[in-house]
Amino acid sequence: MSRLRLLFVVESGTDVRLVEGLAEHFDLSIIAREITGGRAINWPLSKPIPTVIGPAGRAAFAQFTFRQLIRRREDFDVALVQGYSLAALAANASRQFTSKPLLLLVCSPVEAYYRCRLVHPNAHAYRKHEAALLTFFARANALGGPEYVVLSQHLEDTVRRHGARRVHRIPIYGIDTRLFTPALQTKSELRKQLKLPPDVTLIFFSSRVAPEKDSETLLRAVRRLLDAGHNLWLLHRSGGYRQFQRDAERFGILERVIATDAVHPHLQLPLDYQACDVCVQASREEGLGFSPLEALACGTPVIATSVGGLKETIIDGQTGWTYPLGDDAKLAMRIADVVINPAEAHRRALKGRELVCQQFDRRLVFRQFAELVSSVTAHSSQEVHA
C-alpha cells in the first residue's frame, strides 16, 4: 500500500525531529519560507526531502503558498500548515481549487506570545495593528473549517476561542525516550566529557531568548542564590546565547554562565540534560514545552512557571516544582529545594519520566497523527466522490 503524500507548509521555521518523524510515515514534501539569517529547518536532515523555499516576506510567502498548493494539487493528498497566520489563511483559501484536506498544526499561542513584547526589555516593539491582524488571521482561519492539530489542552482552548470546531490533541513531535533517557554514566563522568564544571549545582536553560521565555527571572533567581552562598552554574544552549550572555553580565553573573549555540538534538542535547542537576523553564507563556519533557525523560528534575501548557505536565509535588510567573524569589526557593532534597527531586523526575513515556513518546504520537491523517483523507475522498 502506497503512503499518503503530505505537503508541509512551514512559515516560521521548524524542528528537524518533526520533519524526520513526518518523513517516516508519509511521502513528504515541504514548502518553507526563507528565514533571513537562519534556517527553515533547524538542523540538516539525515535524508533529503523535496523542499521548495519561498520568499522571506510573510505576505509574499502567503501568495507563494497559495499558488504552489493550486499548481501542485495533483502531487499531494493532504496539506499540513504550520500555525494559523497568513500562510495558513492562504492555504485555507486554496482549498476551493484543490479539494484537498487541510490540517493546521498549532504549536504556540501566537497572540499570547506577541503580548509578551509589552513586558520584555529587549523585545521588538508591540504594535496594536499587528496584534489585531494576528487575531483576525486566527478567526478567519477558524471560519474556513480546517482540521486543527494542537499540542496541549491549553492550545485546544486557544483555537476553540477562535472558533475552531475540529480539534485534535496530538503532541507531535514528541520525545524519543530511547535517546532522552537516564544516564548510564555518573554526572562527574558526563561533565568531564562535556567540559562542564564538576562539584557544582548545574542548572540547564535551553529555551531560546525571546519575550515569552523570561530568562530575566531565572537570572535574577541565580543572582539571589549566589548572594546567599550557593555554588551554582548556569548552562544555556540556544541561537540567542549572545543576548543571554549580555543579560547575564547585566545581572553580574556572567562568570557563572556557560552559553553556546544550540547543540544537535540527538547527539548532545540528551547528554546536557543528564549532566545537569535541574532544568528550568521560565516561560511567560507556553504552548506545551518540550524542554521540560526532554529533561524528565532523562531523569532530570524540572522547575517551571505555572502557565499555559506547562500546567498540564509539570505538576507541583508530583512531576516537578512550579512557581508564579516572574517571581524570582520563589524560583530561587524552588532551586534550593531541589539541591537540598535530592531524593525528592529524583522521585519527581522518575514520576515525570513515566508521564513522558505514557503520553509523549514520539512513536506513540506520530502513530496517532498518521491515523488521524488517514482518517481525514479517507473522509475527504468520500465527500469528493459522493
Helix (H, G, I), strand (E, B) or coil at 303: strand
181 in any annotated domain: no
Confidence band, pLDDT 50/70/90 cuts, at residue 213: very high
Range of the domain at 28: 5-174+362-385
| pLDDT score of 386 | 47
**Residues whose CB falls within 8 Å of the CB of residue 145, separated by 6 or more in sequence, listed in order:** 165, 166
The three cell numbers locating residue 25: 510515515
> Does 204 lie in the same domain as 88?
no
What percent of the chain stands above pLDDT 90? 90
User: How is 282-302 classified by DSSP, letter by letter?
Assistant: --SS-SS-HHHHHHHHTT--E
> Does 112 lie in the same domain as 255?
no
Confidence band, pLDDT 50/70/90 cuts, at residue 383: low
Specify the CATH number for the domain of residue 59: 3.40.50.2000
| 163-to-8, 24, 105, 240, 362 alpha-carbon distances in Å | 23, 32, 16, 35, 29
> Does 284 lie in the same domain as 273?
yes
- pLDDT tens track for 244-263: 999 999 999 999 999 999 99
Number of domains forming the structure of the chain? 2
- pLDDT tens track for 4-29: 999 999 999 999 999 999 999 999 99
Burial class (CB in 10 A: 0-12, 13-18, 19+), 336: middle
Range in 144-148, 279-283, 319-323 with the lowest mean pLDDT: 144-148
What pTM does this model have? 0.94
> Does 330 lie in the same domain as 192?
yes
| pLDDT score of 301 | 98
Confidence band, pLDDT 50/70/90 cuts, at residue 159: very high
State how far the Cα of 369 lies from the Cα of 356, in Å rounded to an integer. Answer: 17
> Does 323 lie in the same domain as 265?
yes
Confidence band, pLDDT 50/70/90 cuts, at residue 208: confident
> Does 199 lie in the same domain as 100?
no
| pLDDT, average across residues 32-52 | 94
Range in 115-124, 143-152, 295-304 with the lowest mean pLDDT: 115-124
Q: Is the pLDDT of residue 384 over 60?
A: no
CB 308, CB 292: distance < 8 Å: no
Q: Is the pLDDT of residue 185 over 70?
A: yes
Between 141 and 118, the more confident residue is 141
Range in 1-10, 330-339, 374-383 with the lowest mean pLDDT: 374-383
> Does 353 lie in the same domain as 244?
yes
| pLDDT score of 21 | 97
CB 232, CB 226: distance < 8 Å: yes
